[in-house]
Amino acid sequence: MKKIMLAFGLVHALIALLFTGGALFLIVIGAQLGWHAAHAEGLVAAQEVIEAIGILAAAVVALQIAETIIEEEVVRDADISAPTRVRRFLSRFFVVVVVALAIEGLVATFHAVHEDVSELLYVAALIGSVGVLLAAWGVFVHLNRSAEELEPEAMQDAQAEDEKLKP
10-residue block means of pLDDT along the chain (167 residues)?
83 94 96 92 85 88 87 68 70 81 86 86 94 91 75 62 58
Kindly report, residue by residue over 46-89, the tens digit of the pLDDT.
Answer: 888 888 988 898 898 899 889 888 887 777 655 555 667 777 77
> What is the rounded distance in angstroms from the CA atom of residue 76 to the CA atom of residue 47?
42
pTM: 0.70
